[in-house]
A and B are shown apart, each in its own frame.
Chain A
């Protein structure tokens, strides 16, 4: 069973639908026992870092996630879930879970593309991956595959070993991060068509 962690951070049904579509059993839950006994964990989320951390603490889920990292359980972070595993977020000046060293930064407001045109914030839409490291969850990607992003903040790991892929949006930022049993994407694999589903499937099979 895959536990999709419910901490009042957005609509998690799309993650559940995608995982079920792929034929894996999953449950959207905030129950600590259910999460503890699950085989793997998906940690999604949309919204603001401050409110999300408050909910995690109130529900007692912060320590559950940290324990799962120590236990070696496969964990997939998505979007806000990916930012929350860092040490600190500039959004609402929020201390986060400190699972990966580094922090979460806002895109600069005057961000420009290579041709000098102004880029809009949030970074919303389809974008590709670069500097992809070898990883079982990322193994089926094609060169031109793109993923769906919606975010105004991005993770900035201090240890480059933790950056598994980058994406270019005026700046090059870490769009997939992780180490050992945890992998986390800034984009939404559940909304990214075939390549997104393939990434999710690889995660569901990852040992």
Chain B
């Protein structure tokens, strides 16, 4: 039977891994290639890299990081952040990423999903969604609104509607990030995750809020997530991927135990 995936997430700015809380106050926490190698050896099932480099001129630094990661680890990894068109997608895929994740650009231009899926295949295209709870309304029936540009711009789009639409356009997977939970280590947004996961047929990766193994257990069962993204809880050495997997295994969740 398919295992639930545990996916460390690395935010990379100008070639260095950083970590912030609710998208702010980022601090340097290490070399992304060394961290990728560490998590690979520790049993991570996949990795996610977000390029949060602000300056467009310095974006080629990330391509070099991707290339070095691809030479070092032999598990899938995705790269997102600042992907604006099919050309940006091609660059990270050719550098060795298995998947590319689109977020703001896809909200502004839906066709980037269908174009990417047609050229590279749906399995390559991950839709990244940054979502904030704003209360249920006529415009936002689910109560969850899409926010772009790193959590700054509210789009007036319902998260559930967008997820279903993106699947139709050809997204192969959804990485669902709760801005309310991001960096808090208080647990994933279970309601949001199960709402989206139940209504799409593609896998959903839960993101934002992981602080202890119990949180992963909850989101992979009650939250109906297919995979769970983790950051702070492993970046600072509080937990290891292997320890988290041992805990999930003891809860009866199927995880990959041999690597």
Contact = CB atoms under 8 A, between A and B. Distances in A.
A34 to B, nearest CB: 22
A71 interface: no
B258 A142 contact: yes
Contacts of B40: 193
B74 interface: yes
B182 interface: no
Contact of A193 (B2, B120, B173, B259): B259
Interface in A5-45: 10-11, 13-14, 17-18, 21
B202 interface: yes
A10 B3 contact: no
A125 interface: yes
A148 B201 contact: no
B141 interface: no
Interface stretch (B12-20, B49-57, B78-86, B93-101): B93-101
A123 B94 CA distance: 24
Contact of A125 (B2, B96, B98): B2
Contacts of A145: 258
A126 B2 contact: yes
Contacts of A126: 2-3, 5, 45, 256
Interface stretch (A57-65, A154-162, A194-202): A194-202
Contacts of B98: 14, 191
- The A interface, classified by DSSP as helix, strand, loop or mixed, is mixed
A123 B123 contact: no
A148 B123 CA distance: 12
B190 interface: no
B121 A144 contact: no
Nearest to B44: A193
A127 interface: yes
A70 to B, nearest CB: 31
A13 B94 contact: yes
Given A17-B96, A190-B74, A120 B202 contact: yes
B123 to A, nearest CB: 5
A17 B97 CA distance: 12
A137 interface: no
Contacts of B156: none
B11 interface: no
A113 interface: yes
A18 B93 CA distance: 16
Nearest to B4: A125
A197 B41 CA distance: 14
